[in-house]
Amino acid sequence: MPVQILTIARNTFVESIRQPIFFVLVMLCGVLQFFTTWGAGFAMGYTESGELSGDDKLQFELGLSSVFVCGMLLAALTATAVISREIENKTVLTVVSKPIARPSIVLGKYFGVAAALFLALVPMIIFLLMGLRHGVMSTAGDDPDQPVLLFSFLALGVSMVTAIWCNYFYGWYFSQTFMILLAPAMFIAYLLVLILSKKWHWQGVLTDVKPQVIFACFAMGAAIFVLAAAATAVSTRLGQVMTISVCIGLFLFGLLSNYFIGRHVFRNQLVGIIQVAQPESSRPGWEEPGSTYRVSLNAAAKIPVSTGDPFFYSTSPSGFPMLVPDFPRFSGDLSKSEDTLGAGTPPGLVIADVVGSTYTVKRVGAAPLRDVRPPQNGDFLFTRPTRVNIAALGLWGLTLNLHFFWLVDAVSQNQPIPFTHMGLIGIYAIVQITGFLALGVILFQKRDVG
């Protein structure tokens, strides 16, 4: 079976990159990245903020969106061309008639499509990285990045001229030759750009490398591979037009799943975002009974808060996961130590004083509170624990959520993307791909291809 899968994958890969639409979408993505450097200047300022600043943030969002849309269309069109079209033309009969299991056909087709998409994503992402290195031309006085322009057009020109030459003299497929040459040519061009500054001075190879941007590109690429698996599964039963329509619908629903389903999963009401959280003792934290914190919000509270309300906080605006364990509401007198520190008082956090958007939070109860970190700047404040809708959570987990792969907001807001988060994205992508391919095998198992 592995040999059969690899053989089918190789043939699918070659067939995919020979399609003219493959060349068109990759070049369209490059053209969009080129014009974004001139069209994303909206006077957003030049204040430094992490890896990107000012107009470059908008350029990154527009550029990554272009790669995302072009990659989605490429995945849908390529998958339908190598499966549904073969079923309609009866050419798949030559494979099914052999002693080859139908699951091997589905897996081989997907691996071939995935390899072709990888070959397309390499230059598309490098186009984006080249554009970010160039930066936005906000004014007429800005100088273009000459190394970026030279090496980019040189890589494109060499690949295109070589592909035309081989097509004319040797009869090789133009799009196939061009794509095979473009990916390594653009990679070499990007390496040359990294070691040269805008003024043609030598620099360290890591000077212009943006790890968080690369993480966001990898996550977006994983989403495209998931969409390719979905297109492969759907194309085993539907025709080319319907497969593309379903893929576009799945793409849009994946972007809107947080609105339709996700917002019903966690039930809580946000009070506000913590701007300052300072302990009123020399020892920060909630280890000592009676310890207090002074917490200020960055804006007025969204809901009324009064003395005696519980104090909960989370790193997420949904309130999940909550950083404070659930505890019963305090019903004693905050001015009496026998009530706040009594042995019969359950441990918890209570708002002891309210002055505008500044709150004094007190730890009550003598029993130890589960180890939690103190509140910090940027945490989200709540006055009740978060409840989870199990039915909505199950439905939300089964459906494709493309927001997990979209890390533009984290990069723009200078929020570091940890390796553990990238690992979770990879696991989620593998689970989704496995599920779609399993569905494709089931749908294709009884499909009449005669």
pLDDT digits (tens, 9 = 90+) for 252-285: 999 898 889 988 999 999 999 999 999 987 778 8
| CB 380, CB 313: distance < 8 Å | yes
Closest CA to 344 of 365, 313, 368: 365
| CB 303, CB 413: distance < 8 Å | no
Helices (H), 83-145: 84-88, 93-96, 102-134
Distance, CA of 232 to CA of 79 (rounded, Å) = 5
- Residue 273, SS3 per DSSP: strand
Choice between 182 and 136, residue whose per-residue pLDDT is larger? 182
Q: Where along the chain do its domains lie?
A: 2-265+398-445, 272-386
Query: What tens digit of pLDDT does each residue of 129-149 get?
Result: 999 998 887 766 678 889 999
Instruction: Find where tokens 């180890």 sit.
Output: 371
Closest CA to 226 of 446, 439, 30: 439
Residue range 4-8: average pLDDT?
86
**Band of pLDDT at residue 49, cut at 50, 70 and 90:** low
pTM of the entire predicted model: 0.85
Distance, CA of 73 to CA of 64 (rounded, Å) = 14
Query: What tens digit of pLDDT does each residue of 314-356 get?
Result: 988 889 989 988 999 998 888 888 888 888 899 999 999 999 9
Query: What tens digit of pLDDT does each residue of 353-368 get?
Result: 999 999 999 999 988 8
Query: What are the tokens at 446?
Result: 């009884």
Residue type present at position 14: V
- The 3-class secondary structure across 387-399, one letter per residue, is EECHHHHHHHHHC
Give the chain's end-to-end CA distance (angstroms, integer): 23
Distance, CA of 428 to CA of 401 (rounded, Å) = 10
